């Protein structure tokens, strides 16, 4: 909306200081904005307030049947059937729109769609000709699994990857990450975000992991799922054996390891396994690990009242990938 104001008042000193929204027509709405404009010679500037009314066409409306269908996407069964999932929040929706993933529609409330944070989203929706819909706050809250929703959601079509098509599969240097039975959505989403930050070339999700398109995983990843090639429902034992034939070294953390994370030589091609929050990786995968190491503890080991029992798997992932990237491999 600011662009429309600036077109009417091109003076570079124009500032929007207040905005009020009122619906004056069933075909559209007027956005009433108060503008402060500096006028007069430099040093003796005065301010003049001007009220603008800009007509904005209303977005499409969803039927109750369509809304009910979208609510079903909060359940895995229907996400699998429809091959779609929900992405919530300004940043995540923007990341989805900027990616190569197919966006079925964007939904928001009057408040969120007129928010300053939505300007780039508006531009991307318009350029890509993506259907957009306006809902009431009450209706959009039924599509959200958060307590405080940002009132903007994208419906995205799922995308499938093949392990052999990963960019680093045949490269001389690459790092993959495999997750074995990671059950906590927040942990998985956070670790995907970490993998994205450290430039991991591919991610494998074992059969017993939480679903990739779970709303909590998507939200915690902060858009990372749109940047990484990820394969779900992987038979890790089988695929790790296959990766070994491509000169990948299988690595994992272990409390029984004789070497510390800081003492190992990081291989050029590796796949690092992170396991279940409570039990770690399975014994069969541990046997496949040619490189095992522990993460040394620096806290007070003599005072049990100050001794952490273990390191969160997401923290362990960040620690390991830091060392991996510092090695230059």
Non-local CB neighbours of 22 within 8 Å, separated by 6+ positions: 29, 30, 32
Give the pLDDT of the chain (329 residues) as one tens digit per residue.
444 433 433 443 333 333 332 332 233 444 444 445 555 555 455 455 544 443 333 457 788 999 999 999 999 999 999 999 999 999 999 999 999 999 999 999 988 988 888 889 989 999 999 999 999 999 999 999 888 899 999 999 999 999 988 989 999 999 999 999 999 999 999 999 999 999 999 999 999 999 999 999 999 999 999 999 999 999 999 999 999 999 999 999 998 899 999 999 999 999 999 999 888 999 999 999 999 999 998 876 666 666 677 789 999 999 999 999 998 65
Domains of the chain with bracketed CATH: 2-57 (no CATH), 64-157 (3.30.1330.30), 163-326 (3.40.1280.10)
Report pLDDT for 202.
96
Report pLDDT for 155.
98
3-state secondary structure 82-138: HCEEEEECHHHHHHHHHCCCCEEEEEECHHHHCCHHHHHHHHHHHHHCCCEEECCHH
What are residue 175's DSSP bridge partners? Answer: 270
Q: What is the pTM of this model?
A: 0.80
DSSP state of 15: E
Is the CB of residue 168 less than 8 Å from the CB of residue 200? Answer: no
The 10 Å CB-count burial string (b at 16+, else e) for 177-197 is bbbbbbebbebbbbbbbbbbe
Q: Identify which of 215, 168, 235 has the alpha carbon closest to the alpha carbon of residue 195.
A: 168
The C-alpha atoms of residue 86 and residue 106 are separated, in whole angstroms, by: 10
The C-alpha atoms of residue 218 and residue 284 are separated, in whole angstroms, by: 29
Report pLDDT for 40.
53
For CA atoms 154, 159, 163, 169, the dihedral sign is negative
Which phi and psi angles does 192 have, rounded to 5°?
Answer: -65, -40
The C-alpha atoms of residue 238 and residue 178 are separated, in whole angstroms, by: 12
Which phi and psi angles does 312 have, rounded to 5°?
Answer: -55, 140
Q: How far is CA 182 from CA 117, 130, 238, 276, 293, in A?
A: 33, 34, 18, 5, 20
Report pLDDT for 102.
97
Is the CB of residue 254 less than 8 Å from the CB of residue 292? Answer: yes
The C-alpha atoms of residue 325 and residue 35 are separated, in whole angstroms, by: 50
């Amino acid at each position: 909306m600011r662009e429309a104001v600036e077109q009417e008042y091109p003076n570079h000193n124009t500032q929007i200081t207040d905005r009020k929204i009122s619906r004056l027509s069933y075909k559209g709405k007027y956005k009433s904005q108060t503008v402060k404009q500096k006028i007069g010679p430099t040093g003796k500037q005065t301010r003049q307030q001007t009220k603008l009314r800009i007509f904005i066409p209303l977005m499409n409306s969803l039927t109750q049947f369509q809304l009910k269908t979208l609510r079903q996407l909060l359940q895995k069964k229907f996400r699998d059937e429809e091959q779609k999932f929900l992405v919530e929040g300004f940043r995540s929706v923007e990341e989805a729109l900027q990616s190569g993933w197919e966006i079925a529609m964007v939904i928001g409330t009057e408040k969120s769609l007129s928010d300053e944070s939505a300007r780039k989203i508006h531009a991307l929706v318009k350029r890509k000709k993506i259907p957009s819909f306006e809902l009431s706050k009450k209706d959009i809250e039924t599509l959200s699994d958060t307590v405080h929703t940002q009132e903007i959601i994208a419906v995205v079509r799922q995308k499938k990857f093949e392990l052999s098509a990963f960019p680093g599969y045949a490269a001389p240097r690459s790092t993959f990450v495999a997750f074995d039975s990671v059950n906590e959505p927040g942990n998985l989403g956070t670790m995907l975000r970490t993998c994205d930050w450290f430039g991991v070339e591919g991610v494998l999700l074992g059969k017993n992991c939480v679903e990739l398109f779970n709303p909590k995983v998507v939200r915690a990843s902060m858009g990372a799922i749109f940047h990484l090639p990820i394969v779900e429902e992987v038979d890790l034992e089988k695929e790790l054996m296959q990766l070994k034939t491509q000169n990948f070294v299988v690595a994992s953390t272990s409390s029984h390891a004789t070497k510390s994370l800081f003492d190992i030589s990081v291989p050029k091609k590796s796949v690092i396994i992170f396991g279940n929050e409570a039990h770690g990786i399975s014994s069969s995968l541990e046997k496949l690990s040619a490189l095992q190491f522990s993460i040394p503890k620096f806290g007070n080991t003599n005072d049990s009242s100050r001794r952490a029992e273990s390191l969160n798997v997401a923290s362990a992932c960040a620690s390991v990938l830091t060392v991996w990237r510092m090695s230059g491999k």
